Structure 1
Amino acid sequence: MSIPLLKFPYLIQIGIFKQLEFDEIFLMSLCSKKTKIMIQSARINVERLLYVLFDHAIQVSVGYNGRFQRPHDAIMLERVEVIARDSRIRIKLGGTNIDCSYRKRFAMTENVYLGYPSSEEDMFLKSFQRHMSSLFQNRPENTLITVFTNALYNSTGIKNINNAEIFIKEPDVLNTSQLKDFMNFHPTLDTIQLIFPLTGPPLTRESKIMKIKGLSVYNPGQRTSELMANFNGQYLHLANATYDFNDWKQLLKKWKRKESYGNLKAVITSPLQRNFVLDFDDLAAEFDLQEWDGERRPKNYRLDTTISHIRSKEYNCSKWLDMQQDGGGKWASITLGPSEINFVVWD
C-alpha cells in the first residue's frame, strides 16, 4: 500500500525525511521535483560522501555523522556496456535526463544498483554529483577509496575529491608516477592515506604529494626517511615507520633553524621496531628541550586534519618536552615514547 507522503502536514513530511536512510533519501529525490524540494527543506547535514571504487562499480555512501550507519545504506553505480531495453528507465539527475537501469540486489545486504553506459561515464558521474550536492544543507567532504591501481585512472569522472584512501593489495603495486598522475587528476585533494610500500622514482620536496596538507602512510618501509625529509605539508602520519635517530635529528634541526617545514603542524608516528628509543640526552642538549611550565602553551593539542585515523584526535601534552625555533619563533612539543614519537607545532 502506498503512502500519500506529500499530503501529510509540512512538519510531518520534514520529520519523515529526517528519519530516512541515505539510499531511501536518494531514491525519494528521484520521484519528483516536489519531493526533492521537500528533502532539501529537511536541511539534512552529512559530514562526507564516500566513493568506493571497484573494477566496474562505484559504491556511494555517507559517513561519520552519527546516522546512516547501516551496511546496506549505499548506492552502487554500475558501469555497463549497454543498457537492456526491458530494464531501461529515465531519471532526472542533476538537471539532466539520463537513461539508466535500476535494480535491487540481495546478498548479505540489500543494495540499490544504478547502471549507466560506460560511454557516458563522465556525464553520468557529473550529473550524479551535482544531484547529490543539491540534497544536503551543507557541502559534504568527498572521499575516494580504492584497492585497485586501475581504479585510480577510472576516478577521473569524480570531481572535487577532498580525501583519498588508497589500499593497494598485493600482488598489485603502486608506482610514485601513478600517484603523481592521480594527484593531477584531483587538484582539490587535502589528504591522502596510503597502505602499501611505494615503488618507483624518489619523492622530492617538489613532488605534489609532499605538499599536500595531510599525508598518512602505513608501512612506509625504506621510504620513511624520504617522507620525513621532504614533507612540506601540515600533517604527516607514519605508522610502522622505519626511521632512525638521524631522521628525527634532521627534522628537528631544520624546523628549529627555519630551514624547512614552514607549514608543519604535526608529525604523528609509530615505529615498526617496538621499544624503539631515541637518544634523549643528545636531543635534549642540542635542541634545549624544556619541560612544560603551564604558561607558554596550552596543555592539550587537537589535530585539525581530515586524515580519517587521526582526525580531531586530542593529545595531553603536559608530559611532552618543548623546544623553540631560533630567533624567538614558534614553540613545538615532542614526546619520545617506546611505541610512538610525536611532534606538534603550536600556533
Structure 2
Amino acid sequence: MPINLLKLPSLVGAMVVTELDYQEIFLLTLCSRRSLSLVKKARITVPKLTFRLEKCDAYDSFVIGVKIAMYDWYYVTSVIHVPKLKLGGVANANPVLDDESDIESWYVEVPVYDEKTPDYDEEDPDYDEEDPGHVVASFRHRIKRTSEPMEVQKETQNHVNSIFHYSGPYKLYLSMECEGQLPNITNVKHIVIEDGTIDEQFLTKLLTTYPDPHTLESSIVGELPKDSPFFQIQNIAVHSRCGPDYFHNFAGRHLWLDSVTLTEQDVIMFLRKWITEDAYHNLETAIISVTHPLSINADVIRQAIEFEEYDPNEPEKRPENYVCAAPFDDFMTIEEFPLRKENVVEVRQVTDGKRAYLSIDDSRVEFLVHKY
C-alpha cells in the first residue's frame, strides 16, 4: 500500500528518506517543494561527489554519482543535452526541471558481488565488464534537457550540493569524445581524462578552468615545458608514453608513469637529487614503468648509489609492508608494497637520514619514502 510521505510526521518522514538510495532521494526532490524540504530536513550527507562527462547516444551526458570507496560508486542522476524533446516537457517548480525537460527511465543489469556490496552501474567509471559478478536488474533514470548545457551543469551541481549538504572537492571524469566547452562546475580537485590523449594546449585550458587540482590522471602527447603547472600537481598518473622529464621536473607527492623512455643515468640522477635533497622534497611514491622493449640494469644503478640491503635476520628494521596513500583509485591496483624482500633496498638522505625503499627490475622502478 503506497504511503504519502508528506502526510507522515516530519521526523518519521525524514527517517524514511534516509532509507532511500541516492537516486531515489534525488528524484524525490523533484516532486514538489514540500518533498524537497523533507529531503533537506533529513540532513543526508555524502563523502564525495563525482561528475562524468561522456558520450551517450551521440549526445554529451553529465553523470553524477557518490563515491564511497575505490569500487563503491552509487548513481545519483544524469543529464543529457538534446536539441529537441520528443515528448512534452515536464513542468516543475524545482530548478533542475523546467518546461524544457523530460525524464526517461529504464532498467539495466548491474553486477552485485556479494550481499555487502552496493549496486554497481555500467555508467560507473570503475565498472568492470570482464568481471560483472552476480547480475540483477536495477532502475535508472536520466533527465533530457534542451537548455544551454553550461547553465544546466551549474544548476545540477548546485541542486545536488543542496540536497546532500555537500561543499567538498569534486572528482571529474572527462571523456575526450565530448566536444565543446569543459563542464561548468566548481571546486574540481581530481581529474581523470578518458577515451583519448591531451596535448599541452588542452592541458593549459584544463588547468585554467580547474585551477590547483591535487590529482590528474591522463594520457598526454607531446613535450611539456619545465615550468608547466602540470608538474606542480601533487598527484600525477600518466598512462601514455613519456620521457624522463616527467619525473625530473615533478615537484609533488605521488608520481605514477606507465610507459617511460629512460636510461639508468636518468634513474641515478633522480635518486641522487632525492638523497642530497636537491629536489623531490614532498615526494612520497614514484612508480615508473619503462617503455617496451627498453629495460633497466639494476646493477648499474646500485653501483652508483649507497644503499642498505634487507637483512632477513633482522626483519624488524623495516616495516613489513608499505601502505600507499596515492589517490589513483582508477589506476592503482596495489595498495600495499611488501618491503621485507631481498630486491628491496634502503636509501637515506644525507642530512637528516630520511629513509626510502627502492625496488628495481628490468621494467619497473618503485621508490617509496618511509612514513614517520
TM-score bracket for this pair, using the shorter chain length: 0.7 to 0.9
Classify the secondary structure of the residue corresponding to 1:247.
Answer: helix
After TM superposition, the structure 1 = structure 2 runs for residues 10-89 of structure 1, keeping only pairs within 5 Å, are 13-40=13-40, 41-54=42-55, 55-65=59-69, 73-81=75-83, 86-89=88-91
Q: Which amino acid aligns with 1:114?
A: I
CA–CA distance in 1 between the matches of 2:14 and 2:338? 42
Is 1:287 the counterpart of 2:316 in the alignment?
Answer: no
Is 1:248 the counterpart of 2:275 in the alignment?
Answer: no
CA–CA distance in 2 between the matches of 1:338 and 1:3? 65
**2:247 match:** 228
**2:175 match:** 147
**1:132 match:** 160
- Contact preservation (8 Å) 1:18, 1:44: no
Bigger shift: residues 209-218 or 121-130? 121-130
Whichever structure has more helix as a proportion of its residues is 1
- Contact preservation (8 Å) 1:46, 1:136: no
**1:179 match:** 203
Q: Where does the alignment leave 5 or more consecutive residues of structure 1 unmatched?
A: none
Q: Where does the alignment leave 5 or more consecutive residues of structure 2 unmatched?
A: 110-138
- Contact preservation (8 Å) 1:156, 1:185: no
Deviation at 1:2, TM superposition (A): 4.2
Deviation at 1:274, TM superposition (A): 7.5
* CA RMSD in angstroms, aligned pairs only: 3.3
TM-score in terms of structure 1 length? 0.81
Q: Which amino acid aligns with 2:46?
A: N
* 1:117-151 Cα shifts (integer Å, max 9, x gaps): 443x3333222212212223554542222232654
Is 1:199 the counterpart of 2:221 in the alignment?
Answer: yes
TM-score in terms of structure 2 length? 0.76
Equivalenced residue count is 332
Is 1:335 the counterpart of 2:359 in the alignment?
Answer: yes
- Contact preservation (8 Å) 2:54, 2:177: no
CA–CA distance in 2 between the matches of 1:36 and 1:67? 29
- Alpha carbons of structure 1 residues 233 and 66: separation in structure 2 relative to 1, 3 Å: closer
Classify the secondary structure of the residue corresponding to 1:6.
Answer: helix
Deviation at 1:33, TM superposition (A): 4.2
- Contact preservation (8 Å) 2:62, 2:79: yes
Bigger shift: residues 242-251 or 40-49? 40-49
CA–CA distance in 2 between the matches of 1:274 and 1:13? 63
Classify the secondary structure of the residue corresponding to 2:25.
Answer: helix
Deviation at 1:251, TM superposition (A): 0.9
Deviation at 1:252, TM superposition (A): 0.6
- Contact preservation (8 Å) 1:205, 1:232: no
CA–CA distance in 1 between the matches of 2:34 and 2:153? 23
- Alpha carbons of structure 1 residues 117 and 138: separation in structure 2 relative to 1, 3 Å: closer
CA–CA distance in 1 between the matches of 2:72 and 2:298? 48
- Choose the corresponding residue for 2:332, options 310, 319, 341: 310
Classify the secondary structure of the residue corresponding to 1:77.
Answer: strand
- Contact preservation (8 Å) 1:53, 1:144: no
Deviation at 1:68, TM superposition (A): 7.1
Classify the secondary structure of the residue corresponding to 2:187.
Answer: coil
- Alpha carbons of structure 1 residues 8 and 51: separation in structure 2 relative to 1, 3 Å: same
CA–CA distance in 2 between the matches of 1:326 and 1:67? 41
CA–CA distance in 2 between the matches of 1:136 and 1:343? 39
